[in-house]
């Protein structure tokens, strides 16, 4: 197999290595050529890596190849920064080095995202590269600090996010930092910048400004903090401080309701809204802690159970003989499954999931041919829909519509 990094290796270790006796700084035209070729090379290497992941069937060989590739990229990135440190203060030379470091960092990010499980998080970040990344991130975080604190009205949410970012960008002697950490914090800062831009554009638009209404999520007073919480959930910002803020805010909102029944309704609504938030796969602030979804699901489940118990909302003991009473549906099992799924998808039945709808309803239903039904079996039938069953259900619903019109 041909050495895949041959061109990058030559440019970094030979052509742009100021330690060599035959070193010549590139001209502006040569620097532009290097930049163009570096971008093209990075794109081509991504294609090679994708193909490798699909064609290499031996997992041990694939792991060895990916780790070797990753190690080669790290060595070259380290060499680029050593070249820049030792090299001349020549604009074209530094332009070339920047282009190469960008291409190498792009490939490392791609490896981390697509094949990170094969590398692990132990990949060493070159010290010079890490110092430059931290300095650049620190500058961007400083620019974000004022707008973040202003938008979050009091700054508690902004404070805990900024504390985490400044903690990363601060100098920590001998601290080992993985590429995963670097890429995560870069993406977090980019998301915060994007969040500010989007909200500023919304405020400048004719329909912008405050739209009123209560907060969702972290108990924030206003849409911006709510928007920020959604971004943090998306990136799995699983710091203990953020999770305490998030749960405390929801708890305050729930406790402000007048009755225990209203408290339970509000808590269930917040749980539904949380479950509908987007998540980016395979990312996490702290790999040593449970992710945001796991912690919040656990918290919501415990709080809902407590409120149900407190409000007397636990399921009452069955009345003798009642367990045998079921409503008979004039449809087959398959047709009933289609109808229930449609009720959930159109939000006529408002439940946490399609599975929950079947679990709640099916024990109280029977068909003309079957007295006892399995909710799990019916749930599976809802995703194996045949045209004939759809036609029957549609005909039944159309009949119901005609009946309603005659009321």
Tens-place pLDDT, residues 29-71: 999 999 999 999 999 998 888 888 788 778 888 888 888 888 8
Residue 316 lies in a domain: no
- On whether residue 125 sits in a domain, the answer given is no
Same domain, yes or no: 148 and 91? no
- The H or E element spanning position 329 is strand 327-329
Range of the domain at 111: 6-120
3 state SS of 282: coil
Please give the Cα distance from 209 to 387 (Å, whole number).
48
Q: Distance between the two ends of the chain, CA-based, in angstroms?
A: 77
Neighbours of 154 (CB within 10 A): 11
Helix/strand/coil percent split, the chain, to 5: 70, 0, 30
The token pair at 162 is 């900024």
For residue 169, the tally of other CB atoms under 10 A from its CB is: 19
Q: What percent of the chain is modeled with pLDDT above 70?
A: 88
Distance CA 384, CA 165 (A): 48
How many structural domains compose the chain? 3
Q: Pick the residue with more confidence: 130 or 251? A: 251
What pLDDT, on a 0 to 100 scale, did the predictor assign at position 256? Answer: 92
Where does a domain end: 120, 145, 177?
120
pLDDT band at 311 (very low <50, low <70, confident <90, very high): low
Q: What's the average model confidence in pLDDT over 83-101?
A: 90
Q: Please tell me whether residues 400 and 347 are part of one structural domain.
A: yes
Same domain, 28 and 98: yes
**CB-based contact 65:56 (threshold 8 Å):** yes
- 252 and 152 share a domain? yes
Looking at the fold, whether 347 and 303 belong to one and the same domain comes out as no
Q: Which of 237, 272, 264, 250 is nearest to 356 (CA)?
A: 272
- Tell how far CA 214 is from the center of its chain: 25
Residues forming beta bridges with residue 363, ordered by sequence position: none
Q: pLDDT by residue (tens digit) across 55-64?
A: 877 888 888 8
- The arithmetic mean of pLDDT across residues 15-40, rounded, is 93
Q: Are residues 71 and 13 in the same domain?
A: yes
Q: Is the pLDDT of residue 324 over 80?
A: no
User: Is 90 exceeded by the pLDDT of residue 179?
Assistant: no
Alpha carbon distances (Å) from 207 to 199, 203, 211, 307:
12, 8, 9, 39
Residue 2: pLDDT band by 50, 70, 90 thresholds?
Answer: confident
pLDDT confidence bin for 178, thresholds 50/70/90: confident
Are the CB atoms for 400 and 361 separated by under 8 Å?
no
Question: Residue 126: inside a domain, yes or no?
Answer: no
Owner of token pair 């132990």: 122
Same domain membership, residue 304 and residue 178: yes
> Which tens digit of pLDDT belongs to each residue from 267-310?
999 999 999 999 988 789 998 899 999 999 999 999 999 888 87
Do 10 and 92 share a structural domain? yes
pLDDT at 262 over 70: yes
Same domain, 154 and 253: yes
Residue 383: CB partners within 8 Å, gap ≥ 6?
341
Q: Using the CB atoms, write b or e for 184-212: b if 16+ within 10 Å.
A: bbbebbebbeebbeebeeeeeeeeeeeee
Is the pLDDT reported for residue 157 higher than 50?
Answer: yes
Q: Is residue 315 part of a domain?
A: no
Give me the helices (H) in 220-259, please: 223-234, 240-255
- Three-class HEC string of 36-65: HHHHHHHHHHHHHHHHHHHHCCCHHHHHHH
Is the whole model's pTM more than 0.75, yes or no?
no
Asked if residue 273 and residue 147 are part of one domain, the reply reads: yes
Query: What's the Cα-to-Cα distance from 168 to each of 162, 212, 327, rounded to whole Å?
Result: 10, 36, 60
Domain shared by 141 and 19, yes or no: no
For residues 290 and 327, membership in a common domain is answered with no
Query: What phi and psi, each to the nearest 5 degrees, are found at residue 88?
Result: -75, 160
CB atoms within 10 A of CB 338: 23
In a domain, 286, yes or no: yes
């Amino acid at each position: 197999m041909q050495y895949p990094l041959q061109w990058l290796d030559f440019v970094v270790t030979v052509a742009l290595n100021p330690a060599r006796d035959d070193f010549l700084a590139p001209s502006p035209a040569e620097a532009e050529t290097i930049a163009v070729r570096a971008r093209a090379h990075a794109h081509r290497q991504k294609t090679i890596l994708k193909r490798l992941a699909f064609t290499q069937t031996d997992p041990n060989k694939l792991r060895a190849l990916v780790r070797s590739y990753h190690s080669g990229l790290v060595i070259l990135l380290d060499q680029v920064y050593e070249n820049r440190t030792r090299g001349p203060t020549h604009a074209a030379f530094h332009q070339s080095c920047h282009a190469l470091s960008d291409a190498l960092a792009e490939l490392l990010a791609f490896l981390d995202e697509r094949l990170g499980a094969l590398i692990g998080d132990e990949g060493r970040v070159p010290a010079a590269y890490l110092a430059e990344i931290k300095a650049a991130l620190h500058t961007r975080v400083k620019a974000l600090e004022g707008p973040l604190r202003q938008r979050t009205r009091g700054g508690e949410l902004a404070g805990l996010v900024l504390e985490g970012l400044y903690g990363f960008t601060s100098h920590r002697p001998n601290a080992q930092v993985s590429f995963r950490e670097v890429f995560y914090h870069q993406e977090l800062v980019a998301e915060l910048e994007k969040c500010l831009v989007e909200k500023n554009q919304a405020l400048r638009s004719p329909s912008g400004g405050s739209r009123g209404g209560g907060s969702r999520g972290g108990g924030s007073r206003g849409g911006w903090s709510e928007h920020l919480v959604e971004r943090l959930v998306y990136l799995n910002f699983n710091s203990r401080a953020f999770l305490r803020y998030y749960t405390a805010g929801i708890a305050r909102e729930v406790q402000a309701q007048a009755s225990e029944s209203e408290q339970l309704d509000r808590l269930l609504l917040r749980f539904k809204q949380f479950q509908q938030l987007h998540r980016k796969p395979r990312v996490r602030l702290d790999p040593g802690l449970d992710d945001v979804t796991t912690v919040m699901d656990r918290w919501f489940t415990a709080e809902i159970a407590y409120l149900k118990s407190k409000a007397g909302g636990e399921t009452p003991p069955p009345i003798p003989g009642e367990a045998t009473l079921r409503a008979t549906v004039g449809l087959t099992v398959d047709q009933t499954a289609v109808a229930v799924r449609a009720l959930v998808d159109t939000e006529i039945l408002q439940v946490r999931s399609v599975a929950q709808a079947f679990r709640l309803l099916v024990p109280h239903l029977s068909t003309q041919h079957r007295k006892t039904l399995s909710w799990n079996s019916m749930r599976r039938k809802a995703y194996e829909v045949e045209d004939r069953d759809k036609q029957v259900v549609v005909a039944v619903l159309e009949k119901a519509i005609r009946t309603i019109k005659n009321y």
